[in-house]
Structure 1
Amino acid sequence: MRQGMMTVAVTLGHVARAALWVAGICLILMTLFIAVQVFSRYVLGTSQTWTEPTAILLMGWFIFLGAAVGIREGYHLSFDVLLYVLPEGAGKVLHSLSDIAVGAFGAGMLWYGAELMIRTWTAVMPTLGLPGGVAFLPVTLGGALVLIFSLERLARRAAGLHTMRFGEDAPVE
């Protein structure tokens, strides 16, 4: 089980790295498009209609993909004060409960994001000409990744492998 989990972890590590690259590229593009809008409006005296809605779409991508990777790497919000006074076994139980709650939230994002995407797909974004459901793609994909990465954390813990927590250095395994 341990070796199989290591293979899954390596594969999901590649998925997380790709998601982080996409998030980073979206952040850079969003910044560039906003700069184009500001330059166009205040220097050229014209306004580009596509920059703001495109920047908002890109923002969804880098927020949801980045958040999913943050879940995998243990950077999600946690309140660890109680863990300092509990035995280590209780800490593992609480970490697992936290991962279950986060995974359930990811499942909700996936389910309701997909529902919104499907229901709005036939609408058209006026300034971009794209289907309206495109705006919910990052919610859906981000939710799927949050769910997968939460399940990975649970499986790693069950296999006796280390799961990252905020502020820790990566262990050598």
Structure 2
Amino acid sequence: MLTLIKNIDRLNKVIFYFIGIMLIVMSATIAYQVFSRFTLGASLSWSEELARYLMAWVVFMGAALAIRKGELIGVEAIVDLSSDSIKKVLKLLVCIVCIAFSIFLIVKGIEMVQVVENQRSPAMRIPMTYVYASIPVSGVLMALNSIVVAIELFRKDGEK
């Protein structure tokens, strides 16, 4: 189990840097679009589309990382008022719900990718499967991170 956790954490580190690169590209594209529109008087036809598609990837991949770090928004009032044993059960329940939602994302995401299989984006002419693939890919990552969180809930304190 320790190997699985370490491998998922390594994968999460790669995803973290991938998200950073996407944010840099998105910010640079938007900045250049503003510059070209107001300074050069010419507008890029593809910049808004690229920024939108990158944002979709950033949000979905970021959600997977947030699950692992325990940074998703949640209501903690009930958990804070509970005993330690009840806290573990509630956190495990949250992990199970996250895994179920991840499976839903995987299944529906694959269906959506199949629906847009022959479509291309209007401005950049890239296959829309690249855009919609963010849904099932992040679903897999969310499920993996939820499983790791659930495992860590019940590991002994001495195990690292």
Work out whether the TM-score is over 0.5: yes
- How does the TM-score come out when normalised to structure 2? 0.93
* CA deviation vs aligned residue, 1:114-146 (integer Å, no higher than 9, x gap): 110111021111211111222211122111111
Pick from 13, 17, 40 the counterpart of residue 17 of structure 1: 13
Q: Which residue of 1 aligns with 2:51?
A: 55
TM-score (norm. length: structure 1): 0.86
Deviates more, 1:127-136 or 1:9-18: 127-136
Q: Distance in 2 between matches of 1:12 and 1:132?
A: 28
- Is 1:130 equivalent to 2:126 in the alignment? yes
Shift of the 83–29 alpha-carbon distance from structure 1 to 2, 3 Å rule, reads same
- Percent identical pairs in the alignment equals 28
Count matched residues: 160
Q: Return the alpha-carbon distance in structure 1 between the equivalents of residues 81 and 63 of structure 2.
A: 29
Distance of 1:160 and 1:57 partners within structure 2:
42
Query: Runs ≥4 in structure 1, deviation > 6 angstroms?
Result: none
1:103 alignment partner, SS class: helix
Partner in structure 1 of residue 91 of structure 2: 95
Structure 2 residue runs of 5 or longer lacking an equivalent are none
Residue in 2 that maps onto 1:74: 70
CA distance in 2: counterparts of 1:67 and 1:27, whole angstroms: 15
In structure 1, stretches of 5+ residues that fail to align are 163-171
**Range with greater deviation from structure 2 (7-16 or 147-156):** 147-156
Pairwise CA RMSD: 1.7
Tell me, what secondary structure is at the counterpart of 1:111? helix
